Structure 1
């Protein structure tokens, strides 16, 4: 590793026990913190990528899912340690995206990403300060 690349955030993360490992295809540009009834309980910090571009190891053999609401996506968590790792669309249409929970990555990566706040509980709009 060169001096120039040693300060770049590592794009690999995992659930607490390591059974589910994620590798991002690129540095996230922005992350979303949502206050909907599910996200506020999960504590998710979501970054979005085109479906299939994030390398996910240990899925589906070490994961379970939860489908709720309008039934358009599945929240995926490790069935061993319970950490929510990502969500994926139920209908995998062209252009579909999925969300990755950045809380499973090094804090340095999270600190380098702009966080937007989304009011999923009420107005369904971004409420950035």
Structure 2
């Protein structure tokens, strides 16, 4: 299990899967956020926060919503806007380094090809 939180602690998450790899995406949003994602099913993720603790940013193809803490500004996760799609991701930059240091990081070309670069 991976546990993380934004800097101020207003948003916490538990990711109850063992990711095979983490994803660093080079799309214009992820590159600016500086995120490294663990993708999984929303059924295996718990987000703990007050209802108004985050704001969402929906961009591009309007398929996902990035969630960012209103207090400290950390992007904590993204959720899919299509309820039939069983995917979301948490930002592992907000997880203690010791908990993720041995998980390989794959590089995803979200800026151009939509494919992994490795």
TM-score normalised according to structure 2 size:
0.93
**Which of the numbers 27, 39, 42 marks the counterpart of 1:51?**
42
- The structure whose Rg is larger is 1
Deviation at 1:55, TM superposition (A): 0.9
Task: Quote the residue 2:58 is aligned against.
Answer: 67
**Which of the numbers 3, 25, 32 marks the counterpart of 1:12?**
3
**Is 1:22 the equivalent of 2:3?**
no
- Contact residue 53 and residue 70 of structure 2 kept, 8 A: yes
Runs of 4+ in 1 over 3 A off after TM superposition: none
Query: Secondary structure of the equivalent of 1:38?
Result: helix
Structure 2: segments with no counterpart, 5+ residues? none
Task: Quote the residue 1:5 is aligned against.
Answer: none
Matches within 5 A, 1:77-88: 77-88=68-79
CA RMSD of aligned residues (A): 1.4
- Contact residue 51 and residue 92 of structure 1 kept, 8 A: no
Structure 1: segments with no counterpart, 5+ residues? 1-9
- Contact residue 32 and residue 47 of structure 1 kept, 8 A: yes
More helix by share: 2
